[in-house]
Amino acid sequence: MKRYLKEWKNFVIKESGFNRIKNILQGDVAPIATVGFMTGWNPMAKQLPSKENRLLNKELVAWLRERGYGPIRIRGKFGNRERSMIIPNITRGDMIEAGKYFNQESIIWGEKEPSKNDNRFVFQYIEGDKTIQRRDVVLFGEDVQGREDFYSQERQSAGRKFYIPFFDDQYEMDEGEKYTYDIPPLTEEQRSEHSSLLEEIDSRVHRSLDDTRTQKSRWHHRQILRLRMKELKSKL
């Protein structure tokens, strides 16, 4: 009997933690108008020992609490396993400041948009202080539970998984015409006109192939590379 009670208690704890996160991210918790995601792990896209990463997250929690925020600890896998956190009601400016202070390549920040009647969040994938892409959905279904990589999950050992489908064309928001990614040969005039964009594309190719960077970082640059190639195609 004690074993069954313990299993039931663990189930209740796990589900209550997951449901709390789900309700927040679906916009069902009225006092929460914004939310951020980030970690202190692996700054500058370099894999660090677990002990150093734990200390960095401890410092991040202290940084957030000094500013009055109450982070919710989660975990996940993005090429590499990591511990991260959800920060309710954080400003975009503070998220960007934290991302820069802890040397993170990217952060996620979302807010409820007044124009949406169902209180859904619109999430931004941010590099530096620039929004790279937006999404207005979080996935929690059974297909997500089977994912072996690129997911977040509630902190418990068997916590349920969720993820925001950035860089998945199926969930593109209606923000303009779609383009294919194949790039035709460029004239010298086109190369000169779009030199900055071409330099960024070349830089992201090299970063995506650099095996000294974390798997998460290489994924990050591959996805933005696709967007920049799409942008170049739209300008030709």
> What HEC string does 59-70 produce?
HHHHHHHHCCCC
pLDDT digits (tens, 9 = 90+) for 151-167: 999 887 568 899 999 99
Cα 157 from Cα 32, distance rounded (Å): 26
Helix axes 215-235, 195-209, angle to 10 degrees: 160
Same domain, 125 and 69: yes
Residue 177 pLDDT exceeds 80:
no
> Residue 93's CB: how many other CB atoms inside 10 A?
10
Query: Could you identify the residue written with the tokens 């030199």?
Result: 195
Residues 6+ apart with CB under 8 A from 91: 34
For residue 26, how far is the Cα from the chain centroid? 16
223 three-state secondary structure = helix
DSSP 159: P
43 band by pLDDT with thresholds 50, 70 and 90: very high
Same domain, 81 and 197: no
Point out the domain boundary residue: 115, 136, 171: 171
Residue 161 domain-assigned (yes or no): yes
pLDDT digits (tens, 9 = 90+) for 55-110: 999 999 999 999 999 999 999 999 889 999 999 999 999 999 999 999 999 999 99
Same domain, 48 and 111: yes
Same domain, 125 and 221: no
**Residue range(s) defining the domain that contains residue 212:** 188-235
Same domain, 25 and 122: yes
pTM of the model: 0.82
Same domain, 158 and 199: no
pLDDT digits (tens, 9 = 90+) for 95-138: 999 999 999 999 999 999 866 567 789 999 999 999 999 999 99
Residue 6 confidence (pLDDT): 52
The domain tally of the chain equals 2
Same domain, 125 and 62: yes
pLDDT digits (tens, 9 = 90+) for 5-14: 455 445 434 4
Widest CA span in the chain: 78
Same domain, 16 and 99: yes
Cα 24 from Cα 88, distance rounded (Å): 8
Cα 126 from Cα 92, distance rounded (Å): 10
Same domain, 88 and 201: no
Residue 179 domain-assigned (yes or no): no
Residue 178 domain-assigned (yes or no): no
**Token pair listed for 15:** 């589900």
Cα 165 from Cα 196, distance rounded (Å): 28
Q: With contact defined as beta carbons under 8 Å apart, do 26 and 120 qualify? A: yes
Q: With contact defined as beta carbons under 8 Å apart, do 125 and 104 qualify? A: no
| Complete DSSP assignment for 73-136 | EEEEEESEEEEEEEEET--HHHHHHHHHHTT-S-EEEEEE-TT-TT--EEEEEEETTEEEEEE-
